């Protein structure tokens, strides 16, 4: 066992309640614990262990850092309150942010003190994100922003937003988009919550932008380079996606595996679900191995599609065959409902299939 893993285990023993391993389900909605734990993870360098020390990491080699993350997943560590902050925004800040932006945003973002919204989808731009119509018009040293975002997760609790807006209406649609950092308390920003289908689904909102002014230095990345910011932010977190999906599947299947209630007719489905879970883990590890050898790992492009659908299958199994089929079934229904979001956000399964077919298999674009 590596020294870092032993050290991380000691950290967990200190940071988590003594009964966490046996009673972690009781802590699932413990906001105080989840908040405190993220800050402690960051302060100890475990939140982003592969990052350099000056940015809050431990300079660990990738595989050692992943071992830490897998250990965290295996121990079912408390979920971050605003996962897109560390999952999507922080890598983008690190890759595209100016030194001043990194200085201002990274620490509160990683510690979980400031939440982020991702200002991407619009009423007319969902899967076809590049057709977004929110505009940012340059007037001297400011952008004047008008438009509307929708399905913006946790916008009601976010301090900042990575806002994608059209800065060059004449350019081809992918090339005229910029990413701007928007403080959510800027005048002209109105947030309206959308009531969700169940309590387990994170709040999403409409965000209205009426003559919002942002200074030019709010740009994250270069002007008109927003598409690259959006895509690379997702790319950076490819390893977290499979580790999280693997964790979600373990969580979902636990009530099924712990009991003897699975009827024979469901054994095949359960075995398939377990194979998907292992397949996701092994595909993630294979991808890391291929990258270590400097080889192409195009196959990791399947993990979003595979992971989201597999998590859904597992949640359905748990709903149907969980061990305690009485009062807990509503909780499992809520988790099932939550899993239904996985094949929609961050690129629907339909779009993922197009991407796999076109970018990995080389099939032509459709009409």
Partner 1 sequence: MTSSPISGLVDWDAYVPREETQAIATAAREHFSSLFSLDDLRGMLDGRPKPDLWDRLVEHGYTAVGIPESLEGLGTLVDLTALLQEAGRALLPAPLLTHAMAAQTLEAAGMLDESTVASSLAFAFRRGDALLVFDGAAADFAVTVESRDDGCAMTLFPLGDAPREAVAGPDPSRAFVRIALADLGAETQGRTLGAPADALLAGARTCVAADLTGVAARALDAGIAHSLTREQFGRPIGSFQAVKHQLADAYVEVELTRSLVLGAAVALTGEPHSDEGLRLSLMAKASAGEAAARCTALLTQLLGAIGLTYESDSPLGVRRARQTIPLLGHPGELYARVALLSTGGEA
Q: Quick one: which of 128, 187, 142 has its CA closest to 348?
A: 128
Q: Out of 33, 95, 290, 344, which residue is the one contacting partner 1 (CB under 8 A)? A: 290
Query: In whole angstroms, what separates CA 1 from the centre of its chain?
Result: 29
Binding residue for partner 1, selected from 26, 103, 131, 299, defined by CB under 8 A: 299
Query: Does 305 engage in binding with partner 1 (CB under 8 A)?
Result: yes
Q: Which is nearer to partner 1, 122 or 239 (CB)?
A: 239
> Among residue numbers 23 through 82, which ones bind partner 1 (CB under 8 A)?
63, 66-67, 70-71, 74-76
Residue whose CB is less far from partner 1, 17 or 215: 17
Sole window of 35-43, 114-122, 299-307, 327-335 interacting with partner 1 (rule: CB under 8 A): 299-307
CA pair distance 174, 346, nearest whole angstrom: 17
Interface residue with partner 1 among 283, 312, 313, 343 (CB under 8 A) is 283
Q: How far is the CB of 352 from partner 1 (least distance, A)?
A: 8
Rounded CA-CA distance 129/123 in Å is 10
Does 332 contact partner 1 by CB under 8 A?
A: no
Q: Does the annotation mark 276 as catalytic?
A: no
Name the catalytic one among 122, 237, 248, 276: 237
Give the residue with the Cβ less far from partner 1, 63 or 329.
63
Judged by CB under 8 A, the chain residues 244 through 273 that form the site for partner 1 are 250, 253-254, 256-260, 262, 264, 266-272
- Please give the residues from 72 up to 101 whose contact with partner 1 meets the rule CB under 8 A: 74-76
Question: Which residues neighbour 277 within 8 Å (Cβ) at sequence distance 6 or greater?
Answer: 246, 249, 250, 253, 310, 314
Q: Is 348 in the site for partner 1 (CB under 8 A)?
A: no
Q: Which residues belong to the active site?
A: 237
Positions in the binding site for partner 1 (CB under 8 A): 1, 5, 21, 63, 66-67, 70-71, 74-76, 250, 253-254, 256-260, 262, 264, 266-272, 274-283, 285-286, 288-290, 292-293, 295, 299, 302, 305-306, 350, 352-354, 356-358, 360-367
């Amino acid at each position: 066992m590596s020294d870092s893993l032993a050290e991380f285990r000691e950290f967990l023993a200190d940071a988590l309640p003594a009964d966490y391993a046996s009673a972690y389900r009781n802590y699932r909605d413990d906001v105080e614990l989840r908040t405190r734990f993220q800050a402690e993870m960051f302060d100890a360098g475990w939140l982003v262990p592969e990052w350099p020390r000056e940015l809050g990491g431990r300079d660990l080699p990738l595989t050692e850092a992943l071992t830490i993350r897998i250990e965290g997943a295996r121990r079912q560590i408390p979920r971050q309150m605003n996962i897109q902050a560390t999952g999507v925004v922080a890598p983008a800040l690190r890759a595209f942010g100016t030194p001043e932006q990194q200085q201002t945003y990274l620490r509160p973002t990683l510690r979980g003190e400031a939440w982020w919204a991702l200002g991407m989808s619009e009423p007319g731009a969902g899967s076809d994100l590049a057709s977004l119509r929110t505009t940012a018009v340059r007037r001297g040293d400011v952008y004047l922003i008008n438009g509307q975002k929708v399905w913006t997760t946790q916008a009601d609790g976010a301090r900042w937003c990575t806002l994608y807006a059209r800065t060059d209406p004449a350019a081809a649609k992918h090339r005229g988009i910029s990413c701007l950092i928007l403080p959510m308390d800027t005048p002209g920003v109105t947030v309206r919550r959308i009531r969700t289908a169940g309590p387990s689904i994170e709040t999403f909102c409409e965000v209205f932008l009426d003559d919002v002014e942002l200074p030019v230095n709010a740009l994250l990345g270069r002007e008109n380079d927003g598409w690259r910011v959006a895509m690379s932010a997702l790319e950076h977190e490819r390893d977290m996606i499979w580790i999280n999906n693997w964790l979600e599947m373990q969580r979902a299947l636990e009530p099924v595996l712990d009991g003897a209630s699975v009827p024979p007719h469901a054994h095949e489905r359960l075995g398939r679900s377990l194979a998907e879970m292992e397949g996701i883990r092994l595909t993630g590890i294979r991808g890391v191995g291929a990258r270590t050898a400097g080889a192409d790992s195009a196959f990791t492009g399947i993990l979003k599609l595979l992971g989201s659908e597999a998590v859904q299958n597992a949640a359905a199994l748990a709903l149907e065959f969980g061990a305690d089929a009485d009062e807990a079934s509503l909780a499992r229904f809520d988790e099932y409902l939550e899993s239904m979001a996985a094949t929609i956000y961050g690129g629907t399964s339909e779009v993922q299939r197009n991407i796999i077919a076109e970018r990995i298999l080389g099939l032509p674009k459709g009409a």
